Amino acid sequence: MNHEEKPAEENVTRLMEFVLVGFADMPHLRWFLFGLFLSIYIIILMSNGTIFLLTKLDPALQSPMYFFLGNLASLEMCYVSVTLPRMLMDLGTQRRRISLIACAIKMYFAFLTGGAECLLLAVMAYDRYVAICHPLHYPLIMNHRLCVQLVTGSWITGIPIDIGQTYKIFSLSFCGSNQINHFFCDIPPILNLSCVDTFINEILTYIQDVFFGILPFLLIVGSYSKIISTILKLPSATSQAKAFSTCSSHLIVVVLFFGSGIITYGRPTTSHSGGTGKVFSLFYSILTPMLNPMIYSLRNKDVMMALRKLLCNSMLFKRLS
């Protein structure tokens, strides 16, 4: 941790911009990475956009489960749009400079969307818990009003916390190097640039990790432990296998997203390796949004049927026009 004496005022340079190092240490892979990340971004937008559209248009996908799924898809598109366009611009132009204000805004929205996804994943686990463990009461418990409240809560809960965290970080004095060893404005590499004590900021970061990371993860584990216990009591082996397959897919994404996030933000800032941090960040910020439509949706028969109907209607419309 940065427990250094604050330098004399004349030795502190008030930085007004940063340089996102990103993948500048791999210039020979610049255009390959640009093409790779552009392809991934297009896939994420198209796949999640399709899922969101299906859950809004198809009458068969109007249950609470698909309501949450549509919101997750829209959240994924917002989440990746905070970081990927900037990364692509830096790879393409090699400019890499970002103002302090722009960096703070991007950090805030990264916090907001990332925290909202953690909470929404916990909400989705609760929805499955009620559906499997209390099927007779499911329509009564998971009514439309509660679903809207849960989704709204996932989005807005982090607003005051994230504003306070971002303000606290960018109120620090930065001196010396202005190079952020990351592809977006993240907490650990920015704290490493501060020339004053960051102990309070690190404590606040750990509290934020607990609230948006560990608690939702524990709720998910608790929900799925109840779900698995109920599934084991099912008389049909086929039903058990199908349910276990669905649970395992969900838990893989949860472990991937929460695991990489907790490892990234749960370590002391002094133990952060730039390369390691970037790798873990790629997992939870890019890989999971790309895999989620396949894991949560494309293996679902109702979603696949809705997709076929949408494609058939589109082809019919083209022929008639």
- The predicted structure's pLDDT at residue 166: 93
Whose structure tokens read 């109920």?
A: 230
In a domain, residue 5? The reply is no
In a domain, residue 102? The reply is yes
| Cα-based distances in Å from 169 to 121, 200, 271, 308 | 27, 10, 19, 48
| Residue 140 pLDDT > 70 | yes
pLDDT band of residue 298 (cuts 50, 70, 90) is low
The pLDDT of 224-248, averaged and rounded, is: 78
The total number of structural domains that make up the chain: 1
| Residue 311 pLDDT > 70 | yes
Q: Strands, DSSP E only, in 80-202?
A: 97-99, 179-180
The pLDDT of 50-70, averaged and rounded, is: 90
User: How many whole angstroms separate alpha carbon 269 and alpha carbon 264?
Assistant: 10
Q: Is the Cβ–Cβ distance between 76 and 292 less than 8 Å? A: yes
The pLDDT of 19-48, averaged and rounded, is: 90
User: How many whole angstroms separate alpha carbon 289 and alpha carbon 230?
Assistant: 29
- The predicted structure's pLDDT at residue 1: 47
- The predicted structure's pLDDT at residue 321: 61
Nearest C-alpha neighbor of 181 from the set 111, 278, 114: 278
The pLDDT of 187-203, averaged and rounded, is: 87
Q: Is the Cβ–Cβ distance between 71 and 151 less than 8 Å? A: yes
In a domain, residue 1? The reply is no
Q: Which two tokens stand for residue 318?
A: 């083209």
The pLDDT of 223-230, averaged and rounded, is: 89
| Domain limits for position 213 | 13-320
- The predicted structure's pLDDT at residue 189: 86
User: How many whole angstroms separate alpha carbon 97 and alpha carbon 17?
Assistant: 7
User: How many whole angstroms separate alpha carbon 271 and alpha carbon 188?
Assistant: 10
In a domain, residue 313? The reply is yes
User: How many whole angstroms separate alpha carbon 19 and alpha carbon 41?
Assistant: 23
In a domain, residue 74? The reply is yes
Q: Which two tokens stand for residue 139?
A: 């329509």
In a domain, residue 8? The reply is no
In a domain, residue 303? The reply is yes
Length reported for the chain: 321
We report the CATH number of the domain holding residue 291 as 1.20.1070.10
The pLDDT of 98-123, averaged and rounded, is: 93
| Residue 273 pLDDT > 70 | no
Render 177-205 in DSSP notation, one character per residue.
--EESSSS--HHHHHTTBSS--HHHHHHH
The highest-confidence range among 64-73, 202-211, 234-243, by mean pLDDT, is 64-73
- The predicted structure's pLDDT at residue 12: 47
Considering the chain, what is the average pLDDT of its residues? 83
In a domain, residue 3? The reply is no
Q: Is the pTM of this model over 0.85?
A: yes
Instruction: Write down the number of H helices and E strands in the chain.
Output: 13, 3
β-strand partners of 17: 99
User: How many whole angstroms separate alpha carbon 47 and alpha carbon 36?
Assistant: 16
94: left (phi over 0), alpha (psi -120 to 50) or beta: left
pLDDT, one tens digit per residue, over 210-222 is 888 889 989 998 9
User: How many whole angstroms separate alpha carbon 312 and alpha carbon 310?
Assistant: 6
Q: Is the Cβ–Cβ distance between 247 and 227 less than 8 Å? A: yes
Q: Is the Cβ–Cβ distance between 174 and 195 less than 8 Å? A: yes
Please state, for a pLDDT cut of 90, what percent of the chain lies above it. 38
- The predicted structure's pLDDT at residue 131: 86
pLDDT band of residue 295 (cuts 50, 70, 90) is confident
